[in-house]
Amino acid sequence: MARRRTPGDSVTAGRVPCRSQLNDCRERLRSISRELEAVRAWMEANALRIDRMIAELAAYAGNASANASAGQPLVPVGCRPDDLRKPEPVLSKASVSPRGDGYFDVHIDELPVVQLPPTLGRLFQALAEDGGHTLNDGLVGFKSNARLLARLQADSMHPEPALRWGGRVNARQLTKAVHELRKRLDRVIADGAALVQTRRGVGRRLAVRR
């Protein structure tokens, strides 16, 4: 004969789902906290970039005021109007690591990790590498389209299927991939599209320090 349930038993039994719900709630709050920390890091990194832009624009304005007071031209001799445009964004460091599921984790300065599919992850890695046509600006060199195509073509034959491009690569596909990469970067970084730089007749690169 089954034992008759007492009031104490019902209270104890009722606590089990409540404790489980409490644990779920705590885990959800921890997850939200981690997401907010990532958002804060993203905002702080972009705030630093904006502060640098504001400081440079303020310096331009200060120089213009000083020149006006001294009766000198507002724009220094030899300085073109294009020289006074907004400074281009530059990364201090950028790296890529495969996730194992076909995607790549992209680490950009102190920003939260960005996930990219194989096509864009490999392209980002190729653009961020040093080499190619270098300038005296402390950034990695420009890679010609031929060099990028050769690199991506080699990646299309990677022994691990998850890391393959998925077929032969041509100039049109490269252009589309560059456009998509710019869109992805623009979503996570202020003026992120400008990080992928193109010089006609020279090539492309990621604006990252050597």
Per-residue pLDDT at 67 exceeds 80: no
Asked whether 107 and 95 are in contact (CB, 8 A), the reply is: yes
User: What is the chain's length?
Assistant: 210
Separation CA 165–CA 37 (nearest Å): 33
Alpha helix stretches (DSSP H) within 70-108: none
pTM above 0.85, yes or no: no
More confident residue, 209 or 188: 209
Topology adopted by domain 88-206: Arc Repressor Mutant, subunit A (1.10.10)
Q: Tens digit of pLDDT for each residue in 102-149? A: 788 999 888 888 889 888 888 999 999 988 888 888 899 999 999 998
Instruction: Using DSSP, state whether 97 is helix, strand or coil.
Output: strand
The token duo for 188 is: 């996570």
Residue of 166, 179, 128, 172 lying closest to 149 (CA atoms): 172
Burial-class residue 205 by CB neighbours within 10 Å (0-12, 13-18, 19+). buried
Helices 145-155 and 118-128, axial angle in degrees (round to 10)? 130
Q: Work out the number of other CB atoms within 10 angstroms of the CB of residue 203.
A: 19
Per-residue pLDDT at 152 exceeds 70: yes
Is the Cα dihedral 199, 205, 207, 210 positive or negative?
Answer: negative
Which range, 33-37, 63-67, 99-103, 158-162, is most confident? 99-103
